[in-house]
Structure 1
Amino acid sequence: MARRVHIVGGGLAGLSAAVEIAGSGQHVIVHEAGPACGGRARSYEDRKLGCRIDNGNHLLLTANEAVFRYLGLIGALDTLQGPNQPIFPFVDLAKPCHWTLDLSMGRIPWWVFSASRRVPGMKLGELLSLKRLIDAQPTQVVSDCLLAGEFSRRLLNPFSIAALNTPSDEASAALLGHVINESLAKGGRACLPRFPKIGLSESLVDPALSHLAVLKAEVRTGSRVTGIESAGGRVTALQFPDDRIEIGADDAVILAVTAPVAAALLRDVIPNLVVPDAFESIFNAHFRLDYTPTPVGSFAKTHFVGVVGAVTEWVFLKGDIVSVTVSAANRYANREPEELGKQIWQEVCKALDGLLERPLPEEPFVQRLVWEKRATFAATPAQLKRRPSARTGLSNLALAGDWTATGLPATIDGAIRSGVAAVKVLGLR
């Protein structure tokens, strides 16, 4: 009988692990507690909006090598789209201004010498902030490294919040420096923005499930693991509400669930396990219109725009849906969602004025407000120390998830990397 590999969790970390192993002669079984796979990176039918939407907005860069390798394996590279230039439109509502960051394709940052391509009002000396971030010590936070000026206010601070989902005065400078090293420092070819042509599920989830089905891997939804048994330094059984599966001598388990769920499941079998225990939220506002707006200028090429000096941070145009992401949203925890949604729509109307052929209406046709209270772990220096590696004290168990020690923030790329790392740790590939 072929070795069985049980993957607990059908998010991108679990799917990545499954895709990595499928077709290798091992019997892959994915256990997903919910009705659908994908975790935070999936699409669903929203009854209030009357259409299909993504449960969050995710912008990929060509630097995300793990993502593109994964898409290649599942045959979904052609499901992404984006401009053939490393351009990023921005709007500043505090100091009204529109501009487009237009990076150089190569490693030499010629863009900083062109007033039309760089951040308005920045001074070249402010680029020292990048070096300070790249050289940051583990205990430093992002704000320690940012020099005062428009380069930090209009680019580095928004980039930090979006990448780490943590306020700059709390977020790890070293982690942001690592992100910069893997993207901006490599030049514009590594920073081409990419996003799904249709939706997250159509790019990241559905093709993976089809690929796994062809390779005879099992994906069991509604399959919730409630306990893990161990003996002799290895996992011996998985418990379910109405079932129990024994883990054979050659079998392996990859636990690809959230940090709190992993801690709960492993409390008795790995009592000294340390995982992140502080989290940051994300607020998403989806506004549907009764027509499809027509973008102009660089917005027509990207279909997204960054917003500075407002609650609104990133605006995505998806057909007749205007979708907004607000990262590090714990700071707005005392605000009512409806009140926040009203302010965001007003900001969107101002931000997109001049970026659409005609102004947006005073009110959207219908809206959906989603507050993900535990969207990611808080990317603080203290929490980074709590990220475990894929390897555990049990010989046949590995951990996966964007909260493990991937070297990246809690991103799609980090989740996919973690699945691959878990497979390698167990020697399954």
Structure 2
Amino acid sequence: MADALTFTRATIAGAGLAGLSAAVALRKAGIVVSIADSAAQAGGRCRSYHDPQLGLTIDNGNHLVLSGNPAVARFRSAVGATTPLAGPEHADFTFQDLTTAKRWTVRINDGALPWWIAAPARRVPGSRIADYLPLARLLSNREGRIDQRIATGGPAWSKLLEPVLLAALNTAPGESSTMLTANILRETIAKGGRAMRPRIAEPSLAAAFIDPALAWLDERGSAVALGRRLRTVAFEGDRVTGLDWGAGVEPVAADEAVILAVPPWVATSLVPDLQAPDDFRAIVNGHFALPAPAGAPAMLGLFGGTAEWLFAFPDRLSVTVSAAERLVDLDRETLARTFWADICAALAIDAPMPTWQIVKEKRATFAATPEQNAKRPSAATRWRNLFLAGDWTDTGLPATIEGALRSGETVARLALAR
């Protein structure tokens, strides 16, 4: 039997939410933490930046969390984040059909007993109670495709479940994993509206998550080193023995844990024989420098156009399209004009297109299919001092902020347990 390891320090490659989550958890436990990222700023895919074309600070994507996400709450509490997450008092989701101009709101009651499906004014227009009952078949732990488990049609599916699951999974819901869907449903709709209130980072993701974490770590001597890319990992026996950051291999101490909180394509290039998701889905976002009109919903689901979700901020209007492979290669101005037409139809705006920006993430998330879910590795590896973090590891959730934060907590627990 191998001797037990006691880690007193940790080196983390990657300063996205998974890496920051691991760093915070380990630093709280008294571990000396070094964290580096190859980019010019921390945050990974949850980053904010000043866009000179817009003259505004924007997020790379309109990321949404829910009031019942426990890791989000733990992380923000740990780093003392005070910027509130904006959202409605109840789990109200407003939608609009751009072809008919009809708008409706699904109002999920706060408690776990879903009596909202029995109230015509709260459920999807034209739906019946029976339309919601097949959801129970998605709560099993048996893996498969959603369209093999339930019928993917009818008003409840097309006007609520499909758009919500598409946003959560970033994969066409019909082909998506039933196990991932079951875990989402158990933590959200099965717990009632108190766990499902949508929460949006306002004014930015950086203010809500990244900046407080960086400040917290800096105060404790663990400032993030940016522009520092891990090029090679050296292995010997059952340990990582060296890391090359571009100036030759630096030895890894016997009491040092190594955490790779990098994208899966980077991890597989560094770790021998590592299996990881290799099929990805895109997200396209459009940002427009026009303050939200009075009375505009903070978040509006759209049907009948190209944009799928419209977010109204005090200084801008933003739209998001998930599983957007069909859009990523289109001309940016064509996309902007298409999105602007959807915004004008949704909010009754009669104005020329303002200054705009299109942000494309071609590999935004792994495809949430059964095949890709089966390729997700665990946080522990066969090397005793090497751990993996990221929303692409086996968190049980799709690639979300909540999943990324949980992966960081998991590697911290594993390192501390060893």
TM-score tier after normalising by the smaller chain length: over 0.9
Q: Distance in 1 between matches of 2:7 and 2:376?
A: 33
After superposing the two structures, state which structure 1 stretch, 113-122 or 181-190, moved more: 113-122
Select 2:382's aligned residue among 363, 388, 393.
Answer: 393
Report deviation, 1:190: 0.5
Q: Secondary structure at the match of 2:365?
A: strand
| Equivalent in the alignment of 1:296 | 295
Q: Give the corresponding residue for 1:307.
A: 302
2:59 maps to what in 1?
54
Cα distance in 2 for partners of 1:214, 1:162 equals: 36
Contact (CA 8 Å) 1:144, 1:169: kept in 2 or not? no
- Please say which of residues 411-420 and 332-341 is displaced more in the overlay: 332-341
Stretches of structure 2 that go unaligned for 5 or more consecutive residues are 1-5
Please tell me the root mean square deviation across aligned C-alpha atoms, in Å. 1.8
- Aligned with 1:329: secondary structure? coil
- Paired with 2:40 and 2:263, the residues of 1 have a C-alpha distance of 16
Whether the 8 Å contact between 2:284 and 2:328 is mirrored in structure 1 is: no
Cα 1:170–1:187, aligned 2, differ >3 Å: closer, same or farther? same
Letter in 2 for 1:340: L
Corresponding position: 1:423 with 2:412: yes
Q: Deviations over 1:138-174 (max 9, x none)?
A: 1223475235211000001101110000012321122
**After superposition, what is the alpha-carbon deviation per residue over 1:358-404, rounded to whole angstroms, capped at 9, x for unaligned?**
x241x322110111100000111100000000010100000000000
Look up the SS of the partner of 1:403 in the other structure.
Answer: coil
Structure 2 distance, partners of 1:31, 1:421, is: 19
Does 2:345 align with 1:340?
A: no
1:404 equivalent in alignment to 2:393: yes
Distance 2:328 2:34 in 1: 39
8 Å contact 1:141–1:381 — kept in the other structure? no
Cα distance change of structure 1 residues 408 and 142 upon mapping to structure 2, 3 Å threshold: farther
Report the alpha carbon displacement of residue 180 of structure 1 after superposing the two structures with TM: 0.9
Unaligned runs of 5+ in 1: 354-358
Deviation at 1:243, TM superposition (A): 4.1
**Equivalent pair of 1:141/1:380 in contact (CA under 8 Å):** no
How far apart are the structure 1 equivalents of 2:385 and 2:305? 48
**Within 1, Cα distance between the matches of 2:409 and 2:147?**
29
Q: 2:29 aligns with which of 24, 28, 34?
A: 24
TM-score by length of 2: 0.94
Percent of aligned pairs sharing the same letter: 42
Scaled by the length of structure 1, what TM-score is found? 0.92
Partner-residue secondary structure (3-state), 2:307: coil
How many residues end up aligned between the 2 structures? 413
Contact 1:80 1:196 (C-alpha < 8 Å) held by counterparts: yes
* 1:108–1:214 Cα change, 3 Å: same
| Aligned partner of 2:206 among 201, 210, 218 | 201
Using a 3 Å threshold, how does the CA distance of structure 1 residues 161 and 306 change in structure 2: closer, same or farther? same
Partner of 2:89: 84
8 Å contact 2:277–2:373 — kept in the other structure?
Answer: yes
Pairwise mapping of residues 263-342 of structure 1 onto structure 2 (< 5 A)? 263-266=268-271, 270-271=272-273, 273-289=274-290, 292-296=291-295, 299=297, 303-333=298-328, 335-342=330-337
Deviation at 1:132, TM superposition (A): 2.2
Change (3 A) 1:274 1:371: same
Distance 2:13 2:372 in 1: 24
Cα offsets for 1:201-250 (capped at 9, x unmatched)? 01100000111112222311111110000112100010011243211111
Are the equivalent residues in 1 in contact too, given 2:276–2:375 (CA < 8 A)?
yes
Q: Which residue of 2 aligns with 1:115?
A: 120
CA displacement at 1:183 relative to structure 2: 0.3
CA contact (8 A) 1:238 1:244 kept: yes
Residue 235 of structure 1: aligned partner: 240
Secondary structure at the counterpart of residue 132 of structure 2 = helix
